[in-house]
């Protein structure tokens, strides 16, 4: 009886323990479903410590940490179960994303490959695998804004020196009834920084509520504000969807002079999906926004809708490819030059969310570092007719912060390649720029005027090499350090001609008949080329002449014959207008310096040895 009673107690204890764990499981999943991620982490950890549904709960805990934008923790829990054969391939992608968030890029690519190998088709992921370098044509100088708080701050819009942004700081208002269970911070409100005074205060009027409000954008005429808010109007929360989610919606309000009033819901909102992140074109006639409405490309997409002069809207249009992907695109911003900026986790990038730009000319471009990091970077905004702008990021850990940037357009490098002696432009010269590892990054060719031009990064040093076949190779260094105030940099290059007049004048050797010293017609043609070179291209060129014979005849005879040939060559050049002081010497070498060193020479060999040669004495 004792044994049976003991067994009963053990079974009862196990049953009660299982019931307790089952209850915790339901609690954890309910918290996750209700977006109470901070609380959910504690319960999932307890379940894992008690070895209850370890694989499932490790997955959910990894998901929870990704929602909390804590990839370092997500990597730990995903890594514990990723080799489990029962794990869905979607977690290969999630794990790869988390790895990217902690800069383990090689491992991230390995799991992206496994994701594709599992049968998933994705052009975006294939691009992520193929691309590992991200650079922007512009240069961005970033610093943390001085109006950040200890809570989340993000989503800047500037109008008339008023900086609108979103914050969870709960400033100048009573403490909220409750904090946001997602991350434990207060609900978001819209704040305004007055740049003149530096004062920050909640936006005036009827915009902020007890739920989330922001980000916002103001129309060009200053009369209308469009902003994101939870489904809440007239001090009353709106209808939730079947999953009990209160979706984001877009609202408008009118400038009453004392604040924003007459809050209205935009017509394309829905209780079944979210709409948010408004941005206007510079003329105010197009509103861009983010939504996960049905029939999109996946996740959240970027849309546009026309706005007429009476504030009426057309039909929203999905921007489509290549902007939108199967993943998430958010926070659109249309610059005055027609460039669309947006944030995405579906395009190849450095971190969780990166900022991209889209133009018809360049397509999709990742802005690279320092704009992007391994974490979330989003909400790009640039002040009109200014280099100043703002991004939002959580790169420093914890809550989102606002960073101010100074955008410098690409530095234009231009210059002229000229002859170091006569200053003439050199066409078709090649100019190569290298990086710090001597890897070629630009290969340029000069035009007819010797000019070259390219875009070049700032705050760097570039080894440079210039060549042309008739000139000695030039090597130097271009520095773009401290170039913030410059739009272009001039770097002229002078090439020194090779010290070979025959090569420069493109002349053949000056040959003589057997036992003769007169200038033959064919030799005169070649000497005329030398005359043109000395007169037209290098008027300061100074040369010397050396003449030679073949090996027939005595040494003494050949020496005198060579001297006569040198004198004939000299006389011909002088007769054509070359100053005597530009030929410092004309000398005969007889047979002592043959072109063809032979014992039994052919007639052809003999002819090649009967010649006059030239060398450069001075070229300045």
Q: Assess contact for 374 and 350: CB atoms under 8 A.
A: yes
Q: Is the pLDDT of residue 436 over 90?
A: no
- Comparing C-alpha atoms, which of 468, 467, 485 is closest to residue 476? 467
Q: Is the pLDDT of residue 594 over 50?
A: yes
List Cβ neighbours of 200 (8 Å cut-off, separation of 6 or more). Answer: 147, 171, 191, 192, 193, 194
At residue 133, the pLDDT reads 78
Q: How far apart are CA 269 and CA 246, in angstroms?
A: 12
Say whether the peptide bond before residue 491 is cis (omega within 30 degrees of 0). Answer: no
**197-205: average pLDDT:** 93
pLDDT band at 173 (very low <50, low <70, confident <90, very high): low
pLDDT band at 29 (very low <50, low <70, confident <90, very high): confident
Q: Is the pLDDT of residue 104 over 80?
A: yes
Q: How far apart are CA 47 and CA 109, in angstroms?
A: 31
Strands (E), 320-450: 329-334, 340-344, 354-359, 363-366, 377-382, 388-393, 401-408, 411-419, 430-434, 440-445
Residue 497 DSSP label = B
- Comparing C-alpha atoms, which of 30, 100, 32, 104 is closest to residue 65? 32
Q: What average pLDDT is seen over the chain?
A: 90
Domains of the chain (ranges; CATH) run 31-121 (1.25.40.10), 139-407 (2.120.10.30), 411-495 (2.60.40.1120), 501-618 (3.30.1330.60)
Element (H, E) at 528: helix 521-532
Q: How far apart are CA 429 and CA 450, in angstroms?
A: 7
Residues 41-65 have pLDDT tens digits of 998 999 999 889 899 999 999 999 9
At residue 242, the pLDDT reads 77
Q: Is the pLDDT of residue 533 over 80?
A: yes
Residues in the chain: 620
At residue 172, the pLDDT reads 63
Residues 448-502 have pLDDT tens digits of 999 999 999 888 899 999 999 999 999 999 999 988 889 999 999 999 998 888 8
| Strands 200-202 and 189-194, bridge-based pairing | antiparallel
pLDDT band at 20 (very low <50, low <70, confident <90, very high): low
pLDDT band at 302 (very low <50, low <70, confident <90, very high): very high
Residue 307 DSSP label = B
Q: Is the pLDDT of residue 438 over 90?
A: no
Q: How far apart are CA 507 and CA 34, in angstroms?
A: 88
Q: CA 206 → CA 201, 233, 254, 277, 530, distances in Å? A: 14, 10, 10, 19, 88
Residue 400 CB-half CA count within 13 A:
25
Q: How far apart are CA 319 and CA 297, in angstroms?
A: 10
Q: CA 408 → CA 157, 359, 366, 540, 600, distances in Å? A: 20, 18, 16, 46, 73
Q: Which residue has the tokens 């002349």?
A: 507
Q: Assess contact for 43 and 37: CB atoms under 8 A.
A: no
At residue 213, the pLDDT reads 94
Residue with the bigger pLDDT between 130 and 493: it is 493
Residues 337-395 have pLDDT tens digits of 999 999 999 998 998 999 999 988 888 999 999 999 999 999 999 999 899 999 999 99
Q: What DSSP letter does each residue of 245-271 carry, written as one string?
A: ---EEEEEEEE-SSSEEEEEE-TT--S
CA 40 to centroid of chain Cα atoms: 38
| Strands 248-255 and 224-230, bridge-based pairing | antiparallel
Q: Which residue has the tokens 């039909």?
A: 315
List Cβ neighbours of 561 (8 Å cut-off, separation of 6 or more). Answer: 515, 517, 549, 553, 588, 590
At residue 8, the pLDDT reads 43
Residues 226-238 have pLDDT tens digits of 999 999 888 888 7
Environment class of 114 (CB within 10 Å of its CB; exposed 0-12, middle 13-18, buried 19+) = middle
- Comparing C-alpha atoms, which of 499, 432, 511 is closest to residue 464? 432
Strands (E), 30-173: 139-144, 153-159, 162-167
Q: Is the pLDDT of residue 11 over 50?
A: no
List Cβ neighbours of 71 (8 Å cut-off, separation of 6 or more). Answer: 65, 97, 98, 99, 100, 101, 102, 352, 374, 375
Q: How far apart are CA 573 and CA 206, in angstroms?
A: 95
pLDDT band at 505 (very low <50, low <70, confident <90, very high): confident
Q: Is the pLDDT of residue 7 over 80?
A: no
At residue 5, the pLDDT reads 46
- Give percent of the chain above pLDDT 70: 95
Residues 303-350 have pLDDT tens digits of 999 999 889 999 999 999 999 999 999 999 999 999 999 999 999 899
Q: Which residue has the tokens 């370098």?
A: 133
At residue 589, the pLDDT reads 92
Q: How far apart are CA 201 and CA 205, in angstroms?
A: 12
């Amino acid at each position: 009886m004792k044994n049976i009673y003991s067994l009963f107690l053990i079974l009862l204890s196990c049953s009660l323990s299982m019931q307790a764990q089952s209850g915790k499981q339901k609690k954890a999943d309910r918290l996750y479903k209700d977006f109470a991620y901070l609380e959910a982490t504690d319960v999932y950890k307890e379940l894992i410590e008690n070895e209850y549904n370890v694989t499932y709960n490790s997955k959910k805990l990894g998901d929870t940490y990704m929602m909390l934008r804590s990839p370092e923790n997500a990597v730990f829990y995903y890594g514990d179960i990723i080799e489990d054969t029962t794990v869905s391939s979607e977690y290969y992608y999630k794990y790869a994303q988390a790895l990217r968030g902690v800069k383990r890029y090689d491992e991230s690519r390995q799991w992206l490959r496994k994701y594709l190998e599992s049968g998933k088709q994705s052009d975006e992921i294939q691009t992520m695998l193929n691309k590992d370098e991200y650079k922007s044509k512009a240069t961005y100088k970033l610093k943390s804004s001085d109006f950040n708080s200890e809570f989340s701050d993000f989503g800047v819009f500037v109008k008339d020196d008023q900086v609108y942004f979103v914050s969870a700081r709960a400033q100048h208002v009573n403490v909220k009834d409750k904090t946001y269970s997602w991350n434990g911070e207060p609900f978001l409100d819209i704040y305004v920084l007055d740049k003149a005074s530096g004062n920050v205060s909640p936006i005036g009027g009827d915009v902020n509520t007890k739920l989330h409000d922001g980000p916002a954008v103001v129309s060009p005429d200053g009369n209308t504000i469009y902003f994101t808010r939870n489904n809440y109007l007239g001090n009353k929360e709106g209808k939730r969807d079947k999953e009990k989610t209160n979706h984001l919606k877009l609202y408008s309000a009118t400038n009453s002079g004392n604040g924003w009033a007459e809050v209205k819901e935009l017509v394309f909102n829905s209780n079944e999906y979210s709409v948010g992140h408004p941005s206007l074109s510079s003329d105010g006639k197009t509103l861009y926004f983010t939504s996960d409405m049905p029939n999109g490309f996946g996740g959240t997409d970027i849309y546009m809708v026309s706005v007429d002069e009476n504030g009426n809207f057309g039909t929203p249009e999905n921007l489509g490819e290549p902007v939108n992907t199967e993943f998430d695109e958010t926070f659109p911003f249309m610059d005055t030059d027609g460039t669309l900026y947006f944030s995405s986790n579906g395009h190849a990038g450095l971190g969780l969310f990166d900022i991209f730009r889209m133009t018809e000319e360049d397509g999709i471009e990742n802005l690279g570092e320092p704009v992007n990091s391994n974490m979330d970077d989003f909400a790009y905004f640039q002040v009109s007719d200014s280099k100043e702008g703002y991004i939002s990021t959580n790169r420093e850990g914890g809550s989102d912060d606002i960073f101010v940037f100074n955008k410098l357009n690409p530095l234009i490098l231009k210059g002229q390649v000229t002859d170091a002696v006569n200053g003439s432009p050199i066409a078709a010269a090649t100019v190569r720029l290298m990086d710090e590892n001597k890897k070629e990054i630009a290969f340029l060719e000069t035009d007819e005027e010797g000019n070259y031009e390219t875009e070049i990064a700032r705050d760097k040093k570039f080894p440079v090499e210039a060549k042309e076949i008739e000139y000695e190779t030039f090597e130097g260094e271009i520095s773009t350090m401290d170039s913030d105030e410059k739009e272009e940099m001039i770097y002229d290059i002078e090439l020194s001609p090779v010290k070979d007049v025959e090569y420069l004048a493109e002349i053949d050797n000056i040959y003589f008949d057997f036992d003769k010293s007169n200038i033959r017609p064919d030799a005169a043609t070649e000497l005329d080329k030398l005359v043109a070179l000395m007169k037209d291209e290098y008027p300061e060129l100074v040369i010397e002449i050396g003449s030679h014979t073949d090996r027939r005849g005595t040494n003494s005879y050949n020496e005198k014959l060579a001297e006569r040939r040198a004198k004939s060559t000299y006389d011909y050049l002088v007769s054509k207008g070359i100053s005597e002081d530009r030929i410092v010497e004309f000398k005969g070498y007889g047979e002592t310096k043959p072109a063809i060193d032979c014992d039994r020479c052919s007639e052809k060999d003999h002819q090649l040895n009967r010649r006059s040669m030239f060398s450069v004495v001075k070229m300045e």
